[in-house]
Amino acid sequence: MAAVVGLIAGSYEQITFGYLVKPGENGWTAEPDFTHHAHTASVSVVAASERFVVTGSKDETIQVYDMKKKTDHGALLHHDGTVTCLEFYGTTHLLSGGEDGLLCVWGTKKWECLKSIKAHKGHVTSLSVHPSGKLALSVGTDKTLRTWNLINGRSAFIKNIKLNAHIVRWSPDGDRYVVVANDKLDIYKLETASVEGTLTNPKRISSVKFLNNSILAVAGDDETVRICDVGKLKWVCEFKAHETRVKAVDSLMVEDNCVVVTASNDGFIKLWKILLKEASLELESPTLLGEVNTTARLTCLALWKPSTVQEIAEKPAPEATTSAEILQELTRKKRVQITGEKVILEDESKPKKKKTDRGK
């Protein structure tokens, strides 16, 4: 792999660190690329697109950094409270969520807030965009899991999950998603919108990352990273990654190997090579490829891949616009009916009207 990959990490010390890493014969080497000190409070979340790096903070702002020009691109001011989650879809839009319960859609061309939705009655704790770019999931402190139609920007489904979940993530193929509450990991199927299995981590889960469609890396409030097979509902590997708790985990594929990237309170960002063998019940422990010491207490992590373009999300919107049509399209190959356990479907194809008594 000749392409350079960027490691982006936020910290309690308000600083965002950027490193460029590339593989070599004697492991991976990391060189400092930039530091960005635009926040006045700790960095809570970071996300990266092909062109921009964005960070959210307890200072209620979203800071934008231009990776092409290596300059500060300004701040986005809309949230009232900590910005808790950020995710790009394609190169044209950014989603943000915060403690104010808002879910905001930003256009990256002019960095305008295109839509602001009161998504949850409490905090928005996590969001995840479907690989198709048509749906998004969010969880919050109102104990609900909500599905959003990104074609028309409206709520599609509301599911009461009876727990304050703090992480939600789609699988790469979009057939599954995981919802995390404390140490519990619930695996959902798209076509049924119901839990197909549950795994419990020894510690509260801080970060998860799908390595492929069935293998998930889980970081918790300790020094260990655990890897599970969500299809078989089994833990298949665990390894000590850091000296203190692991705050974030990410990954990328390099040829036939998966490179797992971890960040910790101990200040280190580490890269691990792991060989994924889906047929096996157990995975071999990964090998350390390289590491970098930021000397800061890290809180979040993202990978910047300049050649990555999400082509699916860039395609023009299809004729399917209602949530029912989109879900039918996404599950058409399997010919499975959407049943939805305790899920409310809002028909957004028609505008809502106030009820009036016309004496009929």
| CATH number of the domain bearing residue 96 | 2.130.10.10
Q: Tens of pLDDT along 50-103?
A: 999 999 999 999 999 999 999 999 999 999 999 999 999 888 999 999 999 999
18 belongs to a structural domain: yes
Count other C-beta atoms under 10 Å from residue 143's C-beta.
Answer: 17
Per the structure, how many domains does the chain have?
Answer: 1
In a domain, 353, yes or no: no
- Token representation of residue 33: 């690329």
pLDDT of the residue at 90: 85
Q: Which domain holds residue 243?
A: 5-345
pTM score, two decimals?
A: 0.85
DSSP string of 15-78, one letter each residue:
-EEEEEEEEETTEEEEEEEEEE---SS-EEEEEE-SSEEEEEETTS-EEEEETTTTEEEEEE--
pLDDT tens-digit readout, 105-125:
999 999 999 999 999 999 999
Tell me if 357 is assigned to some domain: no
Question: Would residue 355 count as lying in a domain?
Answer: no
Task: Note the pLDDT tens digit of each residue in 208-266.
Answer: 999 999 999 999 999 999 999 999 999 999 999 999 999 999 999 887 789 999 999 99
The first and second tokens of residue 345, run together, are 């479907």
Domain membership of residue 49 (yes or no) is yes
Alpha helices in the chain (DSSP H): 311-314, 323-331
Using DSSP's 3-state secondary structure scheme, residue 288 falls into strand
- Separation CA 129–CA 243 (nearest Å): 32
Q: What is the pLDDT of residues 29-59, one digit of tens each?
A: 899 999 999 999 999 999 999 999 999 999 9
**Structural domain contains residue 228:** yes
Which residue reads 């256009």 in tokens? Answer: 107
Q: Is 185 helix (H, G, I), strand (E, B) or coil?
A: strand
- Is 350 inside a domain boundary? no
CA gap 276, 219 in Å, rounded: 18
In a domain, 359, yes or no: no
pLDDT of res. 312: 33
The first and second tokens of residue 244, run together, are 């203190």
pLDDT mean across residues, the chain? 86
